[in-house]
Every structure is written in structure tokens, then in C-alpha cells.
Amino acid sequence: MAYKVDFKNVATVGLESSPVATALAGLRANEARYYWNKYKHEYITVPAFEDPETLKWIETILLEKDMRFPYKPLEVTSFEIDGLKMAYVFYENGLAVNVMYSISKDGKRAVGFKLSDGMDIPKEFEGKFKFARQKSKLAGTIRGSFFVIKGEY
């Protein structure tokens, strides 16, 4: 069932099984607020099992860095906005992965990682990525990193 993310009244809808559900919901709301403020785009997520194509696309791109996550995907979203294909997956452990993929060949393409407040850095990231910290009223402290996509997807 689709969920229109409310960034004014943060809810854990769809994320209840996460040990950091409140922080993950805040992270999701933070993303929704960004897209609303910048593009007036309503951020709508669906359970990951309802959109396996988006999940597979993200997981295929992650293989560029030989990354496979054993975590349960809870929700995904994908949309096109301002010449970019955007896709997100929110995992049960509190990890959020997003893909920003320019439709034009010479545009920006990257994968972003955000860690919910209160979760440990997953072992898949140790020694590979440095995380910057960002404060958010909705999500507490968000730790984030990224890599530039080299291939065509």
C-alpha cells in the first residue's frame, strides 16, 4: 500500500519492524521535506515487495562497488524530477540508499547512503566510506556518504 510521507507529523508507517523505526521515519520525512520544498513533489513510498523493479535497479548499481546488503528492504520509491531519475530503498536496519541518475549522459549520477540516528555503521562500509554528519530536526543526526556511478543503467 502506498504511503504519502508526511514530514509535519512523522509516522513509522511501513517501518515498524526496524529497531530504529522512529529515526528511520525521521530520515524518510527529511527526504520528503527536501523534495517538497525544492520541487513541490509529493514523496510516496511503497512496500519493497510491491516494486521489485526499483529494488533490483538499486541493487544492480550497488554491485559496481561489490555491495550486497543482507538487510530486509522495507520501502522503496522512484520518480523522475528535473531531468533526474531518483530511487530510494529504506532497509530495516536503518540504512537508506538513494540513486540519483541523470537522464542525460553528461549529467550527475551517484549513489547516496544515509544512516539513521542510533544505528551502527554496517560492516559493508568499514574502510570504504567516510561519513559526514548532518543535523536534522526530523531525523536527529544523519550520517551520509556516496559514490559516483561509472556504468550505464
Of 119, 126, 79, the C-alpha closest to 96 is 119
| In contact, 80 and 86? CB cutoff 8 Å | yes
Q: Is the predicted pLDDT of residue 61 greater than 90, yes or no?
A: yes
Provide the number of structural domains found in the chain.
1
Q: Is the predicted pLDDT of residue 127 greater than 90, yes or no?
A: no
> Is 153 within the bounds of a domain?
no
Cell numbers for 141? 543526526
pLDDT digits (tens, 9 = 90+) for 73-90: 999 999 999 999 999 999
Rounded Cα distance between 101 and 148, Å, is: 10
Q: What is the pLDDT of residue 19?
A: 97
Of 10, 102, 3, 100, the C-alpha closest to 48 is 3
> Is 65 within the bounds of a domain?
yes
